[in-house]
Structure 1
Amino acid sequence: MIQRTSYFRTAAGFEVIEHARNRLAIVLVAVFVPVWITLITVMMPERPLPFRYRATDEVLQLNGMHLTLISGGLNAVTLIVGFLMFSVTYRSGPFDRRLVAAGYPRRHLLAAKMSALMLSSVLISVYAAGVIWLYWKPEQWWLLALSLFTSALTYGGIGIVLGVVLRGELEGMFTIIMISIIDVGLESPVVNGSASGDLVHFLPMYGSMQGGVAAGFTSGFPTRQLLLAPAWWLGCALIGLVAFHLRTRVHTRRARPLPVRGTEQVLAQRPGPGESVHVCVKMCDETCTAGDHMPLYQGLAVLAALSAEQAAGNAEQNVYPLGRRTSAM
């Protein structure tokens, strides 16, 4: 149990580092969201617009500017979280493959990515809902934040899938932008006069848009509509799980087991929970080295990280794993 926690903690640390290095996403959160919301309040008229609220199956006449605040907030959150998760997943692909090849469990890497998605979605959604609250007081602010969270979660899952499946960074960015624009355009009556059509049920942002309208103009809770957002996220998570498994496969044949001679036992291929490694790094020449004794899961991560840096041409060190030792950790 302790070892599993250590695996997850190490993988989660790598995810936090990758998110912190994505300065463009941080700038988008800090600047794009308030600027976008401000432009909506300044430029959008307040004339009434019809919107079909599915929880009661009635057409509501809503303030156009307030309705655009909801759709604009959803658009901003989905673009930022989708871009963030795609970028992190795409850039960490080679590193994840090295970790898996070195013996790191896939489930802990995936759990760390999902945890990072949850945390970033919560922070960005609450921040966007707070910016909207500065200009307009909806009936249920917490439901607005929940609707933004569900849309962020959905597009974060889409970003993870695209980061694993697509081969280029530009195509992934373009795909996320186009999906979000089409989704918001078909959902909002500001752009689409027939936004009440039945086809909007199949859009990723359908449940979030219905929840946002309920939060802004009613005292109800559209349970059935909001449950569609987790369905989209689970579908994306399943696709991402399969794609991640295929992309991190080790395409090598397993060596045949050595024969057992007498009472000698062959070392197990998988390390035990109490084993550790000693890693030695060449600093300048063969006589100038630095070494450290560390837990096995941490040693595997260090070896993969240094190998990735060396393959990218960012490091001159050579790594020498000097063997495996058993210790009471």
Structure 2
Amino acid sequence: MQHSKQILVTGGAGFLGSFLCERLLAQGHEVICVDNFFTGSRWNVAHLVSNPAFELIRHDVTFPLYLEVDEIYNLACPASPVHYQHDPVQTTKTSVHGAINMLGLAKRLKAKILQASTSEVYGSPDMHPQQEGYWGNVNPIGPRSCYDEGKRCAETLFFDYWRQHALRIKVARIFNTYGPRMHPDDGRVVSNFIVQALRNQSITIYGDGTQTRSFCYVDDLITGLISLMETSDEVTGPINIGNPGEFTMLELAELVLELTGSRSKIEFLPLPIDDPRQRQPDISVAKDVLGWTPRTPLREGLGKTIAYFDGLLSSNRSGHVAAE
């Protein structure tokens, strides 16, 4: 039987956070979920509220928080371009001030803390696939910089707290993740394609469709995060958590069309600024250190995600669903 811990999850009502809260509760821990509901949603954790081991607090991590916990998962930050570009200053503040506040809390409590970083720290990569030792190729003044550089600065802070205060840190670099509870209007490619296909609207591909992404199903990702948190204190990361299976946008669109039986046509639009051409994790460190590999094939994960969006659209409740 695992020792029950008090665990704080910031961004806990978001897409990834809600699944993490669910898994930690299932393991017998007490979970404090903190979210300001900018992109998170009460709907994502409504089924957990009756659990006496679960507590939901509305709070913005750019302000200090005083709690007693054993571990902290810092997931607070809008993760889709539509949301993080809506208020870029606030996005940077959430990454940087949020990291400072959570690191300060962890330091006071001598708690272990995990940062949900991102593959976006690699920018538009010159190295393929991306290894953790790669420093990245990031535009510091572009429209995506608030997220990319905010997350890079958060990693800097984590490692400075580790060096300066011997804080027990874990840094996970999360690659494209998908699954139920994604926001239908978050602008990310999986949710975009599925919603367009279910509505029989044109499937919009930016560029010529040859750019690639690697898609990790949410259950696999959560297993990776928890596995990283449970490693010994010597393991800090950063560690790539993602699925190395690489697909072009055209391949993804065609698979979504097949699985939905949609009548949608494919439409090509210009590529957005700083949109990376390739994104694929090298997960050899995760395999060696965590014994972790993703298990859910894209076809299977898409089937579950399509079923979720189908139910959502038919219930006309899309306004209540939220992203990471």
TM-score by length of 1: 0.27
TM-score by length of 2: 0.27
**Which structure has greater strand proportion?**
2
Which structure has the larger Rg?
Answer: 1
Higher helix share: 1
